[in-house]
Amino acid sequence: MRTLCKSFFCLSLILILAGCGSRNQLAPVSEARWQTYSSTQKTHIVRRGETLYAIAFRYDTDFRRLAVLNHVRPPYSLRVGQVLSLQGIKRRSSSIRAGYSYRSPRFVPKAQQQVIHSPIKNIRSSSGWLWPVSGKVITTFIPSQGKKGINIACKKGEKVLASASGVVAYAGSGLAGYGNLIIIKHNNEYLTAYGNNARNLVSEGQKVKSGQVIAEAGVIDRKYWGVHFEIRKAGTPVNPLNYLQKG
């Protein structure tokens, strides 16, 4: 009887440990935290999975500037181990006037800019941009603190939508601090980024339409389901809320 009990206990322990291992494999990604780089860094070595757009995104610069600097021509193909020069690339200020839309440029005066903390739905803003998920803005745009975008909390299982039509410039998890990340190139000036996804549903080079499902929302900071959303104008982070205003 004692042997039987001991065997049952061992079997139970194995099942519990196995269950813990499964949960660890499914653990949510952590919040996208700002990853700075040294101002003295002069080169970047291309790693597997990186694209010119992702590298430019990392250094807050325009992909065209990086391409010209390194004599890289369209379609901007890179090879693993290639050394890219960062000479002359400086961190840009994110305090430039935001609010110029992708479809119909329109400046939003500061008096009309509102910090949205109430729940919002997947609606299209007056400037044409679409909210990537329905939810609540938890973290706002404060570039001085490394917050280059906004965090939008949503329901578990929420689908992440493309904010505007474009081409997937990057889809992967190679950019430190962003988890599963998707970068969409909308034109030669604007990019949008969707971080901390539970699963990416599109691949690099794929054309997407505004409102198309591109990912499944993941967990931010191990606290809530949501998406980290950024808009880059000529490589510089701008306040997404200036583009997503409802009125």
Peptide bond into 75 cis (omega under 30): yes
Strands (E) across the chain are located at 43-45, 83-85, 136-139, 150-153, 159-161, 166-172, 180-185, 190-200, 207-208, 213-220, 224-233, 236-238
Query: Is residue 85 assigned to a domain?
Result: no
On whether residue 90 sits in a domain, the answer given is no
Q: Does residue 35 register a pLDDT over 90?
A: no
Q: pLDDT band at 43, cuts 50/70/90?
A: very high
pLDDT in the model for residue 93: 42
Q: What is the CATH number of the domain that holds 131?
A: 2.70.70.10
More confident residue, 190 or 4: 190
Q: What is the pLDDT of residue 132?
A: 96
User: Would residue 196 count as lying in a domain?
Assistant: yes
Residue 38 lies in a domain: no
pLDDT of residue 1: 52
Per-residue model confidence as pLDDT tens digits over 164-213: 999 999 999 988 889 999 999 999 899 999 999 999 999 999 999 999 99
Q: Determine what percent of the chain is predicted with pLDDT higher than 70.
A: 67
- Is the pTM higher than 0.75? no
Backbone angles phi and psi of 64, in degrees to 5: -65, -40
Q: In total, how many domains does the chain have?
A: 1
- 63 belongs to a structural domain: no
Whether 40 is in a domain gets the answer no
In this prediction, residues 45-65 reach a mean pLDDT of 90
Q: What is the pLDDT of residue 143?
A: 87
Indicate whether 163 belongs to any domain.
yes
Range of the domain at 222: 110-242
Q: What is the mean pLDDT of residues 121-144?
A: 82
Q: What is the pLDDT of residue 8?
A: 47
pLDDT, position 16: 41
Residue 28: predicted pLDDT: 32
- Residue 218: count other Cβ atoms within 10 Å of its Cβ: 23
Beta strands in 54-189 (DSSP E): 83-85, 136-139, 150-153, 159-161, 166-172, 180-185
Residue 71 lies in a domain: no
Report the pLDDT value the prediction gives residue 145, as an integer from 0 to 100: 86
